[in-house]
Chain A
Amino acid sequence: MAGVAERTRPADEATIDLTSPAAPSRALVPLPRRPETPIDQPADSDLRRSDVDRWGRSERMRALLRTLYDPMYRYWFRVEWEGFEHLPAQGGALLVANHAGAIPSDAPAIMHGIETQLGRPIYGLAEHLFRALPVVGTMWSRVGGVTANPDNAYRLLHDEHQLVLVFPEGTKGTGKTFGERYHLRRFGRGGFVEIAMRAGVPIVPLAVVGAEESMPILWKHGRLAKLANLPYFPVTANMLAFGPLGLVTYFPTKFKIRVLPPVHFDVDAGQERYSRSRVMAESERIRRQIQAALYDMLRTRRSVWFG
């Protein structure tokens, strides 16, 4: 046993926690680096009764959903991919896409396509609103939904080398009315770029055409949204067309997804913070790439329904 007098105090252990006042980190997304070496965990797989992982995801539920969703993917949205070879077959990558539809239809389509064609799991980051909804929240996390928290994203990308899908527009994207379709919103504060840099993974931009028209918002009610504590309270064309069923029915628009070449950052991974101007510039560059790809795809699209 080490004597009390000859105690060694590891510099970071002591300074991070007890002796330093709670000074807010200057990083855009505070997330200190962690040592690289993982420590093996004792196996208790024989005790487990379900296959729910630490993210709340269950491969069995995911497989069931794939079976159920497949006809929708194939025959309703008739999803078509372009540049699928840009998606990495291994290693972590952050997939960044435009976001649309009152209840977004793009995330399930992207996740389904990647899992069936690439054969590797993908986690979708989303607003923590989902987590507070009974049943929906649980189902959402069982099929790969994760709260969009920087630490969650970093763990998935860096520690677990997973594919992570994020929509930097967030609810600003899905809350667009029909008149604003395909005009990308602000990409948050660029936090997604900083996380990719820190985790040392590339960003793969995706441009999705078709989701905007699958559930377009005609009009938003501000006060009802406030009352219901929702980011927006939409009246969609689907509601007018199908009544209450419009809440769960999409128009059969033709989906086209273009995968753009991966963006690699030539910065050292694992830094506590990165130049904010660099982060914002990269974020804006990726936003412009996706916007340009969308315009390009829309120029060649003849019909909303048939592509």
Chain B
Amino acid sequence: MRVLVTGLSTFWGGKLAAALEARDDVEVVVGLDTRPPRVPLERTEFVRSDASYSILERIVRATQVDTILHTHLIVDSTLASGRTVHEINVIGTMNLLAAAGAPGSSVRKVIVKSSAYIYGAARADPYCFREDHRRTGPARTNVERSLLEVEAFLRDFAEENPHVAVTLLRFANVLGDELDTPFAQALRLPVVPEIFGFDPRMQFVHEDDVVGGLLYATTHDVPGVFNVAGDGVLPWSEVCAIVGKRRIPMPPLLTNLAAEPLRLARLVNLPPELLDLLRFGRSIDNTRFKRAGYRYGHTTAGTVETFARGLRLQRATGERHPGYHYEREVEDFFRHSPAVVRR
């Protein structure tokens, strides 16, 4: 298997490249990003590209990859402006699929990491979204709109390229020891924000299950759309209780305005789609991915508990950042120098 990973320098790209390297059946891992990788990698080849992957067709032709693992979709709108989100998610995916579907392309499998944000969170929602449910209201934020566009591209791509197995995974909100998300930020605060009078049903997926799910889709043939989330739902109050935090209410009206000071003070950035979630909650039906054979490592409650444990450890030992800097010359030496003994 020859795999191309997009977004190599992102958290997920790095994790997946590392996981793929460890497998014997993966011959080649090519990683694409605008920035150098942030995790040490053994044999992954890093290619610097622009955000919209314009050189992708050449790479695919040159490396003859058969699998594309598209992890570089921005689902956390606090990380980038609306413009960048559009550029990376929509234009990036468009170019990626164009390259993958070019005549004579060697690509036989495409796996895309999407998000449950595509379902939105609104009052008329079903309590548990299945893969074939559509959101009950129009998309209101850049991230949600871009995800809808990406999935539409992907549907067209799958239709036009029946010989390519397309897997789309929609992940619930992620919690984990290493990943920084707005929810993780909120739960690290001394008091955790909530919206007054609302106690939404939340669902989380552990970061190991995100990597595990993507890896499972890469190494098995499971075409289709799948929700990926830990079993069970927890009210937000209980999430805070497991983490051991008190809650501070934000006003139910003009909540976005009330979240602004938190944003300005750089305490926590709660974008509109997250505030919707804190109001109405969401859960997604994960049984289809189970039927496809994936076994989850964590339930929702287990994910929150693991996160709480990580938080306690952090509090005791202080923040730790693994110091790794990508040096082109060093990496080239280790990968290609005849002096290095390869087994």
Contacts and interface: CB of A to CB of B under 8 A. Distances in A.
B142 interface: no
B13 to A, nearest CB: 22
A248 B205 CA distance: 42
Interface stretch (B234-242, B318-326, B333-341): B234-242
B162 A19 contact: yes
A137 B159 contact: no
A149 B130 CA distance: 13
Contact of B126 (A9, A132, A136, A151): A151
Interface string A10-29: 10011011110110000000
Tell me whether chain A's interface is mostly helix, strand or loop, or mixed.
loop
A50 B109 CA distance: 43
A290 to B, nearest CB: 27
Contact of B299 (A44, A131, A147, A149): A44
Interface in A1-52: 1-2, 4-5, 7-10, 13-14, 16-19, 21-22, 32, 34-35, 38-39, 41-42, 44, 47-50, 52
B123 A13 contact: no
Given A4-B221, A54-B128, A131 B280 contact: yes
B158 A18 contact: yes
Nearest to A150: B126
Interface string B134-175: 100000000000000000001100110010011010000000
B17 interface: no
A9 to B, nearest CB: 5
Interface in A238-297: none
B123 A128 contact: yes
B101 interface: no
Interface residues on B, range: 35 or more
A18 B223 contact: yes
A18 B161 CA distance: 11
A14 B224 contact: yes
A56 interface: yes
A7 B235 CA distance: 41
Interface stretch (B4-12, B83-91, B196-204): B196-204
A147 B282 CA distance: 13
Nearest to B283: A54
A52 B235 CA distance: 7
A54 B233 contact: yes
Nearest to A43: B299
A19 B197 contact: no
A67 interface: no
Interface in B90-107: none
B219 interface: yes
Interface string A207-235: 00000000000000000000000000000
Interface size class of A (residues with CB under 8 A): 35 or more
Given A134-B197, A147-B123, A50 B237 contact: yes
A63 interface: no
B310 to A, nearest CB: 15
A2 B158 CA distance: 20
Given A18-B166, A52-B238, A137 B201 contact: no
Most interface-central of B299, B301, B305 (chain A CB within 10 A): B301
Interface of B: 1, 25, 66-67, 108-109, 123-128, 130-134, 154-155, 158-159, 162, 165-166, 168, 195-199, 201, 219-225, 231-235, 237-238, 241-242, 252, 280, 283, 287-288, 290-292, 296, 299-302, 304-305
Task: Rank and list the top 3 A-B pairs by shortest CB-CB distance, nearest first.
Answer: A134-B197, A18-B158, A135-B197
19 contacts: A4-B67, A13-B222, A13-B288, A14-B158, A16-B131, A16-B132, A17-B155, A17-B225, A19-B155, A19-B162, A42-B302, A50-B241, A52-B235, A54-B201, A134-B198, A135-B197, A149-B126, A151-B133, A155-B128
Given A42-B296, A129-B123, 6 more contacts: A1-B25, A13-B292, A14-B224, A19-B158, A34-B287, A56-B199
